[in-house]
Structure 1
C-alpha cells in the first residue's frame, strides 16, 4: 500500500530543490514551514499542482506549503527525506546571505517572533479556556447548577488559572525556543515575575541588589513583559557564551545571564512591557469606540485574509493582552470570531452549490474540518483562493456579522475553541451578550453561505456540472 504522506513529502522536497536547498523545516496546524537557502528555486505552480497541496505562501522569510490538517503526518516524512532534525533550532544567518536592515524586515522579524512564541501555546490555551467556559455555564451567572463555593466551580477556576495565571512561564519557554536560547532559562525568567513574595509586594517599592529601586507588580497573565525580556536575554546569553571558556560555561553562563537580567527585567523591561500591555488593551477599546461598529465590521471582513499570511497571530496576541488587561475583548477577538463563522458559511455554500461529486465531497470535508476541527485554511485556499469570487461573499458575511456585533456591543470573555463552540466565549458577558453573539455568528454564516451559493461561481465552471 502506497503511503500518500510520503509521496506528498517526496514531491514537495523535489519541487523545492531537494535536500540541498532545505536548511530547516517545521510545521504549524496546516502548513509545512521551510527555511530554504534559495527561495527562487521552487516554482509555485509546480508545488501547488502536487496532490495534497492547497497553496504556497511566502511570509516571514519562510516558504510555507499549505497542506491542511494532514501536515502533521507529512512533516516527519519530509524531515526524514530532507535530512533535517525534527524541530531543529538553526542559526538564521547560516547558509544564507546577510539581508539589508530595513523597516519592513525589522517589522517582519518582530511579528514572526511574537506569533512564533504564541502559536505553540494555543492547545493549552484552548483547554484552559474551555474550563472557564464550563465554569461560567454551570455557575450562578447562567444555569445556576453549582455555587461559587462548589468543588466543581473551584476546579474549573484552578484549571483556567493553571495556564493563564502562569502565562509568563509558558511564554518564557516558547519565546526562548523561538530565539534558540536556553528554554530552561526562559522558564526561570518568566517564573521570577510570579514568585508569591514578589507578587505580594504589588505597588510597593522594591530594591534590586541594594541600589536599584523599582515598583513591584503582579505580572500574572501578562504577555509583553516576558516577551521583551526573553528577546534581551538572548543577546545577554550569547554574549556570555562568547567570552566565557567552555570549561566554565556550564556554571557561569546561566548564572551571569540571570544575574544581569534580574535588574534589567524588574527595573526596565517588565514595567515597560506592562505599560505596553495597558496601552494596547486601552488602545483597542479606544479604537473600537472611535471607529464604532464599523471598526469591528471592517476587521471581521478582512480577518481571514490576514490568516492566509499568518499575520493574524500578532493581532491575537494584542487581543489576548486586552482580555488579560480588561477581562474581555470587544474588538480583535470578537471580529476574528465572526470572520471564522463566515468561513464556515463559505464552505457550506460551496457544498450546496457544487454539483460535481468530487468537488462536493471536498467542500463538505472543508466544512467539517472548519466547523468541527476549527481550521479554516483549507476552506480559504481550497475554495476562496481557487475560485476567487467566494472571497467577496466571505468579506460581506464577516462585515455583516461584525456590524451587528458592534451595534449590540458584543464582547468575548473567554478565548476558547475556534470551531462551533466558539460562541461559548460570549457567556461571560451575561445572557444578552450570549444571545447577540450567537445572532451575529448566524448572520456571518448565513450571509456568506447565501452569497457564495448565488454569486460565488461562474456557471461555466466544471464544479457546477453534475457527474
Structure 2
C-alpha cells in the first residue's frame, strides 16, 4: 500500500495524469516526460516519503527513488504505465537548437540504448565470472564449465543484435528490420569472407573487420535505418508499402552500413579501447584520481553513461575493463561511507533514515543516486568529503591497475567482478580501493562537518509563536478571478497551492515581494520567487504557454537574482500570445502553503480590477 500511496502522491505533485506524456524507469529513477514541467512542484515531490530527490535533464522530469523504483512504477495506474502504447520515450531533443541540441540528442541516443542493454551485459559477465571461479577451483575441464562459458559468451557475441533492439526502441523505429540490418554484422558467411579475400558491393570494397561484440556499429546501423525508412515512406505508394518498404529499407541500408558506417563504428570502438589502455599506461594514478573525484558530478548530469562505450569496447577487445568500473568502485564506496557518516552524525530522524538506507544502497548494491540526490547534494560538504574519498581511492585504482571482469555497479554483492583468471591479486587490490575510499570519505565528513537538517526541514513556523500576516502584491494589473475559475485542472484544483489568478491588461510582471528568483523558466512563461518571509510564489503567465518555447516572452531577471518589490521581472506580448490561441489567465500561487501550515486568503473579490503592486493576497502563518 505504501508504494501505491507514493505513486499517487507523485502523480498529484507533478501536475496530474493529464500532464504526463510518457513514463519509464531505470535502476533508480522514474523518468517522466511532462507536457508542462512548470506544473510540477519540485519541493512537494521531494517531500514525499521515499523520494530521494528530483532532477530535470534532456526533457525528462526524473524522480529519484532508489531500489524500490520498479515497485513504485508498477504501482502507477495502468492508464499511465501504458500511456506510450508500449513505445519508447519520446524524443524531445529536437526542441533544443544548435550544436548543444545535437550533442544532447546523440548522448541521449547512445546512453539510452546502452543502458537498456545492460541486463544482458551484466548477466553474461557474471556467468563468465562463475566460469572463472570454477577454473580457480580446478574444475575447468568439465562439461559444466564449457556450458557456462558458452552462456557467458552469448550476450557479448550477439551484442550487435541486442543493441539493435534497444536502439530501435529508443529511436522508435522498426525493431525487426533493425535486428536484420545489424544481425548481418555477425552472419557466419560474412565473418568467413572478412577473414578470407574480403568482399565488395557494386565494385566498392568492404572494409574487413570483426563485428562480434561490437557496440558502435549497430548504433550507426539503426540510425541509418531510421533515415532510410523515412525516405522509403515518402517514395512508396500506399498499396506497395507492405512489400517494397521493407525490401527497399534493407537493400539500401545494409550496403551503406557495411561500406561506410560499420567500419567507422569499428574504428571508433578500437579508439575507445585504446583510450582505456592509454589511461592505464600513462600517468594512470592522476587520470583516474581526477575522474574518480569528479564521478559524483558526472553521475549527477547522467554523463557517466557516455563512458559505457569505453567499458564495453574494452571488454570486447581484452575481456576486462580497467577504466570505468574500477573508478565506479572508488566512487560507490566513498558515497556510501559519506552517507553512513551523515547517518551517524545527523540529529534528524528523517535524514538519518535516508542516509543509512542510501549508504547501504551505494556500498552494498552499488547504486549511489539515492544518497547523491537525497543526502549529499542537499548537505554539500558531505558531497565534497565523498569526492575526496573517491579521488584518493582513484589514485590506487591507477597505481594498482584494478580491472573489472564483468559489468555491474561495484558494491559488496558484486565484488566477484574483480576476480581475475590470473589469481586473487586483482580482487585484493579492489578491496584495498574500496577500504581506502570508505575510510577517507567517512573521516572527511567529520572533518568538514555539515549544517544539519531539522526533523521537518519544510517547517518555518513555531506552533507556539504568535500569528504573523504577510501581504503579497499583485505582480501585474488586470481583472482578478478565483483559481477555481482557471481553465486548467492543476490550478483549479489547487494542486500546486492556493492563491488567485489575474487576466492581465499589461504585458509586464513586477516583483510582488522582496526576495530571490528561485527559477526563471527558460521559456519565460513562469517565475518562481522565494520571499524574505519564506513564501514560495509561482507566477504562471498564461495557460499552456510553455508550448510557445519562449516566443512572446522577454525575461529580465535570471535564476538566483535578488529582487525588491516593484522590480521588473518579465515582459510578454499579449497580442502575439493570444494570436497563437493561448489563454492569458495568469495564476499567482503560494506553493509552500501546505508544508508551512500557511493560510491563504484573497484581499480582492472575483472580477474586481487590480492595479500592479496593489495588495492582493494575505498569508497568515
Structure-2-length-normalised TM-score: 0.68
The aligned counterpart of 1:214 is: 206
Structure 1 residue corresponding to 2:189, chosen from 174, 197, 200:
197
Q: Indicate whether 1:84 and 2:83 are aligned.
A: yes
The aligned counterpart of 1:243 is: 235
Equivalent residues of 1:221, 1:324 under 8 A apart: yes
Bigger strand share: 2
- Please show how residues 417-436 of structure 1 align to structure 2 within 5 Å: 417-428=409-420, 430-436=423-429
Whole-Å separation in 2 of the counterparts to 1:449 and 1:159: 40
Structure 2 residue corresponding to 1:60, chosen from 33, 53, 58:
58
Whole-Å separation in 2 of the counterparts to 1:380 and 1:104: 26
1:40 is paired with a residue of what secondary structure? helix
Equivalent residues of 2:280, 2:401 under 8 A apart: no
Instruction: Return the offset for 1:205.
Output: 4.2
The aligned counterpart of 2:540 is: none
Per-residue displacement from partner, 1:193-234 (whole Å, max 9, x unpaired)?
A: 111121123344443444332133221111001111111111
Q: Indicate whether 1:415 and 2:411 are aligned.
A: no
Whole-Å separation in 1 of the counterparts to 2:439 and 2:24: 36
Q: Indicate whether 1:116 and 2:109 are aligned.
A: no
Structure 2 residue corresponding to 1:360, chosen from 344, 352, 371:
352
Whole-Å separation in 1 of the counterparts to 2:195 and 2:351: 61
The aligned counterpart of 1:457 is: 450
Whole-Å separation in 2 of the counterparts to 1:400 and 1:38: 43
Instruction: Return the offset for 1:75.
Output: 2.4
Per-residue displacement from partner, 1:311-354 (whole Å, max 9, x unpaired)?
A: 11111222221232233332222212211121221232233334
Structure 2 unaligned segments of length 5 or more: list them. Answer: 456-621
Instruction: Return the offset for 1:263.
Output: 0.8
Equivalent residues of 2:365, 2:409 under 8 A apart: no
- Structure 1 pair 204–164 and aligned structure 2 pair: CA distance change class (3 A): same
The aligned counterpart of 2:525 is: none
- Structure 1 pair 61–79 and aligned structure 2 pair: CA distance change class (3 A): farther
1:200 is paired with a residue of what secondary structure? helix
2:186 is paired with a residue of what secondary structure? coil
Higher mean displacement: 417-426 or 167-176:
417-426
Per-residue displacement from partner, 1:217-268 (whole Å, max 9, x unpaired)?
A: 2211110011111111111112212332333222221221111112111111
Equivalent residues of 1:212, 1:263 under 8 A apart: no
Whole-Å separation in 1 of the counterparts to 2:368 and 2:34: 26
Whole-Å separation in 2 of the counterparts to 1:204 and 1:391: 55
The aligned counterpart of 1:31 is: 29
Whole-Å separation in 1 of the counterparts to 2:97 and 2:43: 31
Q: Which has the larger radius of gyration?
A: 2
Higher mean displacement: 404-413 or 153-162:
404-413
Higher mean displacement: 382-391 or 287-296:
287-296
Higher mean displacement: 37-46 or 130-139:
37-46
The aligned counterpart of 2:337 is: 345
Higher mean displacement: 12-21 or 181-190:
12-21
Q: How many pairs does the alignment contain?
A: 453
Q: CA RMSD in A?
A: 2.4
Instruction: Return the offset for 1:403.
Output: 0.5
- Please show how residues 4-43 of structure 1 align to structure 2 within 5 Å: 4-43=2-41
Whole-Å separation in 2 of the counterparts to 1:291 and 1:58: 36
Higher mean displacement: 436-445 or 16-25:
16-25
Q: Indicate whether 1:166 and 2:158 are aligned.
A: yes
Structure 1 residue corresponding to 2:433, chosen from 427, 440, 445:
440
- Please show how residues 39-438 of structure 1 align to structure 2 within 5 Å: 39-78=37-76, 80=78, 82=80, 84-85=83-84, 87-89=86-88, 92=91, 99=95, 101-139=97-135, 143-147=136-140, 149-428=141-420, 430-438=423-431
Whole-Å separation in 1 of the counterparts to 2:216 and 2:197: 22
Instruction: Return the offset for 1:454.
Output: 4.6
2:410 is paired with a residue of what secondary structure? coil
Structure 1 unaligned segments of length 5 or more: list them. Answer: none
Equivalent residues of 1:26, 1:32 under 8 A apart: yes
Instruction: Return the offset for 1:304.
Output: 2.2
Instruction: Return the offset for 1:80.
Output: 3.5
Whole-Å separation in 2 of the counterparts to 1:426 and 1:447: 22
Whole-Å separation in 2 of the counterparts to 1:173 and 1:221: 15
Whole-Å separation in 2 of the counterparts to 1:257 and 1:452: 58
2:61 is paired with a residue of what secondary structure? strand
Higher mean displacement: 273-282 or 49-58:
49-58
Higher mean displacement: 103-112 or 323-332:
323-332
Higher mean displacement: 12-21 or 293-302:
12-21
Whole-Å separation in 2 of the counterparts to 1:408 and 1:92: 42
2:417 is paired with a residue of what secondary structure? helix
Whole-Å separation in 2 of the counterparts to 1:86 and 1:446: 48
1:26 is paired with a residue of what secondary structure? strand
Equivalent residues of 1:76, 1:86 under 8 A apart: no
- Structure 1 pair 81–194 and aligned structure 2 pair: CA distance change class (3 A): closer
